[in-house]
Structure 1
Amino acid sequence: MELLETAGVNSAGGAIFKSMPGIAKPKVRFECEYVAESRDPIRGLTGPPIMATKTFDEVSSRQFDIILIPGGWIEPAKIPKPLAEFVRAQVLGAKYVLTVCTGSWLLAALGLLDGKRATSNKFQFNEIKKTTSSTIQWVAKARWVVDGHIWSSSGVTAGQDMAYEF
C-alpha cells in the first residue's frame, strides 16, 4: 500500500471542501480509519509509512459502510490470513467498496468479483486477468468501473478521479 493510494481518496471525502466556498461538494462525505493487523507502521515501496488508526481486533464487531482496498505489490496468494478474513467480512456487508490500483486483485482472489466487471492496474493487468476467475469481466480501457456497490480504479491517480465521482 502506498500513501498516494489512500491520500487522494481521503481528500475526496470532503474535509478539504469545508474551507473552499463555491466549490462543488462531494456527493458522499466520509471519514477514514486506517485498519491493519497491528498498529505498526505500514511501509510501502516509497514515501512515508502509514500508521493504522485501528486494528482488525478493535473493529471486529463493526461493519463499515465504505471500504477502500488499496493496491500494493504483493500477490493475493501471499496476503496474510487476518487481512483476507477482514476484507471478506467487510466487503460482504459494506454499502460501497472502492479499490485502487491492484486492490481489485485482492477482491478477485477472494472470489468477491466473480461475475462482475472491474478494472485494475495497467502495469499488471495481463497477470491479474490471467490469474483470476474467468467469470470476471476485466475492463482494460477504463479509469474506473462501477458494478453494483463495487467501484474499481485502474491506478493511483485514477483512484482519485473515481473518489471524486463517488
Structure 2
Amino acid sequence: MADTTDDGYQAFAAARIGHLYRSACLLTGGDTHLAEDLVQETLGRIFVRWRRVSGADNPVAYAQTMLAHTFLSWRRRRSSGERPSATPPEAGIAEDGDPALRVTLLSALRQLPERDRAVLVLRYWEDRSVQETATALRLSAGAVRSHALRALTRLRAELGDDASLFIDR
C-alpha cells in the first residue's frame, strides 16, 4: 500500500510531466529522446527529495530548475555518444500551429550554446524574471541579460525574416 507521500508525488509528476517534456524539448533543440531521458532523470531526482520538494514554496519552479541543471550537467559530461540528427523529430512540441515554424525554431535553438538555450527557455518559455533565471542557473543577473541578448541576436540572425514570428520585442 502506497503512503500519502507517494500519492502526492504521483499527482505532482502526472500534472507536470507534459510541461517538463516541452521544456526539455526546447532545451535539447528538439531531441525528443534526450528530452524524455532528462524528464525521467529529473522526476527520479525529485522523487528521492520529495519530502523536501513538497515542502518548498514553489515545487513547480524547483522541478524546472532541476530540469535545467540536469540538462546542463548532461551537456558537461560529454559522455554520451548520441549525436543530434539533421532531420526533424517525428513528433512536434505542440499539437497545433505551423509545423514548419516549429522545426525552424528548434533548428535555430539547436545552434545556440547550451547555457544560452537554457537562459532563453527559463526566461521566455517559463516566463521567469531575470533574477529567478539567475538563481536557477547560478549566474549573476547581468550574465543572464548578456546570455539572453546574445542568444536573441543569434536567433534573429539565424531566423532572418521568420524572426518576427517568434521574437517580438
- The bucket for the TM-score relative to the shorter chain is under 0.3
Normalised to the residue count of structure 1, the TM-score between the two structures is 0.27
Q: Which has the larger radius of gyration?
A: 2
- Name whichever structure is richer in helix by fraction: 2
Normalised to the residue count of structure 2, the TM-score between the two structures is 0.26
